[in-house]
Structure 1
């Protein structure tokens, strides 16, 4: 069963890491032009909003999160190496950042017909002052996914030989993505002295979207906290049972 769970974790993680990789590449296209990044976004939306893409992405996210809750519940101790703590922090913090972005784009599109493009998204970010959040959005997931994949690949000689090239990719791609996004922001700001108004679809349904965001964050934190508390209670019961068995013997 543990082998099966690890395979599910690996496959679901690779799907989400692929999504992050393509997203970072798309941002990096902004180094050349806003239009080029926009064309890349259209292709990405066709991929991930198709029926197979939606099932693959959200199915992988659900499986991976479910396995993460199982890991938190089942862990007997929390004396972890620094790299594991970094991977854990990155994995748990990603949904906190991602929920805001997903509600403003995918949920707004599904419920209210909002059609995202880079210019509209950037206007929303600049108007709300959350452009820094967008730059930081993908970093935790990228770090978590790359560390998790490396923990699996480091046992292979070919992966150890490519260690420095892989590290360069892990570091350079987010940097190029950030540069591309900054250039797109400058392009949008440079079109006129005043920013275009925020899309009226988002304005009309802002309260509803804020409520969705609040409820999803609350549910996420409740699930993580519940898994940890139940795991601690289980550990406490097992320790008491072990002590009783030792005393009785």
Structure 2
């Protein structure tokens, strides 16, 4: 069972890492032009908004999160090396950043017909003052995925030899993505003497989207805390039972 769970965790994690890689790569295209990044976004939307892509992406995300809750619940000791703490921090912080983005783009598109493109997304971020959040959005997930993959594959000599190149990819891709997004922000600002208001569909349904965002964050944090507390209670009962057994012996 443990081997099966590890394989499911690895497989779902690889799907999410591919999603993050393509998203970061798409932002990087903004270094060259807003139009090129827009064409990349169109291809990404065709891939991930298709029925198979939606099932694969959200199925993998749900499975990976469920397995993370299982790991938190089952863990008996929390004395971990620094790299493992960084991986856990990055993995748990990503959904907090991603929920806002997902609600504003995918949920708004599915429920209210909002059609995302980079110009509309950038205008929405600038007018709401959350462009910094967008820059910080994908880096934690990218770090979490890369470290998780490294921990699984570092036993292979070929992977260890490629460590400098892999480390360069780990660092450079988020940096290039940030540069690309900043270039897109400047391009959008240069196109408009005064930035227009965000898309009317976003404005009209802002309260509903804010409620979705709040409820999803509360649900996410509640599940994490519940898994941790339930695990600690189980550990306490196990230690108590073992002490009683040793006294009776």
Q: 1:55: Cα distance to partner?
A: 0.5
Which residue of 2 is the match for residue 151 of structure 1? 151
Which residue of 2 is the match for residue 244 of structure 1? 244
Which residue of 1 is the match for residue 182 of structure 2? 182
Which residue of 2 is the match for residue 171 of structure 1? 171
Instruction: Normalising by structure 2, report the TM-score.
Output: 0.99
Unaligned runs of 5+ in 1: none
Q: 1:145: Cα distance to partner?
A: 0.2
SS of 1:221's partner is helix
The 5 A counterparts of 1:92-241 are: 92-241=92-241
Q: 1:248: Cα distance to partner?
A: 1.0
Which residue of 2 is the match for residue 71 of structure 1? 71
SS of 2:77's partner is coil
SS of 1:137's partner is coil
Corresponding residue pairs, total: 249
Q: 1:192: Cα distance to partner?
A: 2.0
Which residue of 2 is the match for residue 24 of structure 1? 24
Question: Which whole-Å CA distance do the structure 2 matches of 1:221 and 1:174 have between them?
Answer: 26
Q: For residues 58-102 of structure 1, what are the alpha-carbon distances to aligned partners after superposition, in whole Å with 9 as ceiling and x for unaligned?
A: 000000000000000000011010001000000000000000000
Question: Which whole-Å CA distance do the structure 2 matches of 1:66 and 1:48 have between them?
Answer: 21
Question: Which whole-Å CA distance do the structure 1 matches of 2:229 and 2:139 have between them?
Answer: 28
Which residue of 2 is the match for residue 83 of structure 1? 83
Unaligned runs of 5+ in 2: none
Question: Which whole-Å CA distance do the structure 2 matches of 1:157 and 1:192 have between them?
Answer: 53
The 5 A counterparts of 1:32-71 are: 32-71=32-71
Instruction: Normalising by structure 1, report the TM-score.
Output: 0.99
Question: Which whole-Å CA distance do the structure 2 matches of 1:95 and 1:204 have between them?
Answer: 25
